Structure 1
Amino acid sequence: MKKLCIAIVLFFSMNAIAQTESTFTYTEFHEPKINIAYLILGNFDVSYEYLINEETGVGVNLMIPFDDYVEWNINSNFTGYFRFYFGENYADGFFGEIFANLNSVEDSIEIEGGSRDEDITDLALGLSGGYKLVSQSGIVLEVFLGGGRNLFSEYNSQRNFDFVLRTGLNIGYRF
């Protein structure tokens, strides 16, 4: 009986010590964002990023032009990306990303005797980098720049859009 009492006392004392040493912090994992630079130019560009841990995140981006202020020649653009953060704070600071971009564009194809406009859907792979600031209240501001190359269209050697530019000035909220 004496050994059982000692074991129970040791078990509860270790449990109490473990609870006092552990620190639980709540970290936000979701970031919806809008690209304000593209919005000003007549292009609806929204992103959602899920933060896996303090150094990595995955996200999706949808871009659809809605105004002819700038002639985009883009019908739609859907991007998935994986980011690696280099800052000291949680998913903050400099980052690098790899992305896959499914794009649909109206492009001019050079053919024998002239050219013709055609809607082309293609997939581009690329790299980008940027910087993200996150305030204590959860406001997110990020700027990034990168590019990729379209891979699968049969017209790639005759196209204007064989290279995909990925750029933005995003503002959002982390929750």
Structure 2
Amino acid sequence: MKKILIALVLFCSISVIAQSDSDFTYTEFHEPKLNVGYLILGNFDVTYEYLLSEESGVGVNLMVPFDDYVEWNINYNLTGYYRFYFGDNYADGFFGEIFANLNDVRDTLPNQNGGEVRDDVTDLALGLSGGYKLVSSGGVVLEVFLGGGRNLFNEFNSERNFDFVLRAGLNLGYRF
């Protein structure tokens, strides 16, 4: 009887230890962020990121200028991205990302008469970025990133001012 009781206690304790390791859940995976670097320059730039795992996340970013402090010539930017994190903590540290950027800009294009005309041009850019993210124990997020991409679909890309797109930021947000 003692052997059965010892075996039963041992089996239950191993089962409890195994369950505590495998049932780990991390529920903080939403990150709204504001690009304070662009905000200072008169550009509303907001991001939402959803963390898929401790090593990856997907997000969407919207940028709309609201002030003429800097001549942006941008009507809007809408960016979707996938990030891969290299840090030891949950979605923290160095990261690399690939992005697709739908952009609408006021640009100078050649016309049929050999002159130039200013017009709104919508295009899609693909690119790469990299950066670093810090997350405090209270959930405050601070990240800095830099990257670029190339517009793909406009026939006048070689003659445009916005052949390449810049993706940069100093984001402040909250993880919940």
Q: Give the TM-score taking structure 2 as reference length.
A: 0.88
Deviates more, 1:122-131 or 1:19-28: 19-28
1:145 aligns with 2:146: yes
Give the CA deviation at 1:25: 4.7
The residue number in structure 2 matching 1:65 is 65
Q: List per-residue Cα deviations over 1:133-171 (Å, max 9, x = no partner).
A: 000000000000000000001221221101000000000
What are the ranges of 5 or more consecutive residues in structure 2 without an aligned counterpart? Answer: none
The residue number in structure 1 matching 2:43 is 43
Following superposition, which runs of at least 4 residues in structure 1 exceed 6 angstroms of deviation? none
**Pairwise CA RMSD:** 1.9
Q: List per-residue Cα deviations over 1:111-136 (Å, max 9, x = no partner).
A: 45321101000000000000000000
Distance in 1 between residues matched to 2:166 and 2:115, nearest whole Å: 27
The letter of the residue matching 2:90 is Y
Aligned pairs (5 A) from 1:106-121: 106-111=106-111, 112-121=113-122
The residue number in structure 2 matching 1:103 is 103
Q: List per-residue Cα deviations over 1:60-116 (Å, max 9, x = no partner).
A: 000000111111000010000000000011100000000000000000113453211
Distance in 2 between residues matched to 1:14 and 1:98, nearest whole Å: 47
The letter of the residue matching 1:144 is F
- Describe the SS at the equivalent of 2:148: strand
Give the CA deviation at 1:13: 6.8
Distance in 1 between residues matched to 2:58 and 2:33, nearest whole Å: 13
What are the ranges of 5 or more consecutive residues in structure 1 without an aligned counterpart? Answer: 1-5
The letter of the residue matching 1:138 is G
The residue number in structure 1 matching 2:15 is 18
* Matched length: 168
Q: List per-residue Cα deviations over 1:21-47 (Å, max 9, x = no partner).
A: 414353410100000000011100000
Deviates more, 1:25-34 or 1:60-69: 25-34
The residue number in structure 2 matching 1:80 is 80
The residue number in structure 2 matching 1:171 is 172
The residue number in structure 2 matching 1:132 is 133
The residue number in structure 2 matching 1:159 is 160
The letter of the residue matching 1:116 is V
Distance in 1 between residues matched to 2:25 and 2:129, nearest whole Å: 31
Distance in 2 between residues matched to 1:98 and 1:30, nearest whole Å: 19
Distance in 2 between residues matched to 1:119 and 1:26, nearest whole Å: 44
